[in-house]
Structure 1
């Protein structure tokens, strides 16, 4: 992924797709690429695959809101530009940043592959905000939630922000969290975790009033999760698994699995807790 300055944001929606020729190439591609990635689409009117890929690129360029610009070059009208870029077949797509080709592909790729390619060559304008939100999760989850909302306001399709927002809200016992987790697309890399995490609702919605025995421990675990004290919650749930699997239809084990899914395998508590749970079960 290439770096980019905030000057990219000045590109207007009308400039998302531009026609480029030999006379405008210096200004519209080389100079513009100093601050904004430019994706060149070498095409021709008679090219069938070009007519398939072109509309996809144009739609994605408008969708990107100025984070990159699509420059369309008709190879029949601009053969010297095609020769300069060593175009052997069309459609030929090349990403240019600061005057250099950073990546390219040839042929009419499906939209999913084009999107994946763009993620490699075009910087995510929300990357810094996303990193800040993730860093705040442990110390100030309310602020992290606010920042995830801000990201989604700018980029509603940001799956990382969507999952993390749903995850934090669900762990706090906010019903919006479950609704948000259900919005994670099935095609997302977060889909399995979001689905597995839905069961956390049974835990965090447990009554706050004290109770005796295993039910009391379960309610204490629920309060601990809502407060962000996951270590205490895990200890109490493991204790219940070890002595009372019948409670809430094996509810403690189900709650642990949901908690593991939402925290993620890279969380320092999850690995050891998974091993302890396995020892209790097997």
Structure 2
């Protein structure tokens, strides 16, 4: 598996030429089981792209006549359907519908791409183990939350099974506020949850995620980068770009920027940037290998 780091959602692929028609569910789903997996032709593709405004829409470009591709699609279907609507999956026979593969500039199959709000996010090419795909999906789910996408899509077929466990009331209140774009209310709900249960790790991460969304939702990436480049000693400008890089999936760039900045600072300024970096570690997930690598670099700078 290659290309498993999630990049920015800013893409240049033109998907508008494909016609508009509803996707249909695959015929390989067990009878009665809910499925968020569908087969796509050129006519169905554009409506599938539209679903990416709600949830990440994953496209698998392959061929059912190639065993590696068929095995990958089976694994993708299993993992996507287990998400209960947080993702949708479209399977494309790239040999029968080369126009779709060309739209993604596919150089080989199988190739897996996600769409977030209509923009392509390359995931990986070639075969992959289930555990590797699950890790990529975890990153994609995090990126979706950072983009304000925390809902679910209806199944293409079947009936949903057992519902996901309900969130604690304050967590649900926070999620509802995020969906409404009210980040202040979302942060207040998570902080209230922390006040009730100080060891609520999900609430603490929620606070950091909401703060990140609040800080970045009105920022312009190009202007922020220009400001940071012209003013390398402007701490606020460097923090803005790091935030935008995390939201856009350029996690290593964000971490490297802040570790480098910390190496040049002292006292309160150094601590200010260190605290921001620790928050971003939590947003990405402390088990993420990129966090572990950056922590080692940070330790060398600090000690």
TM-score (norm 2): 0.40
Structure ID, larger Rg: 1
**Higher relative contact order, structure no. (Cα contacts within 8 Å, ≥ 6 residues apart):** 2
Q: Which structure has the highest helix share of the two?
A: 1
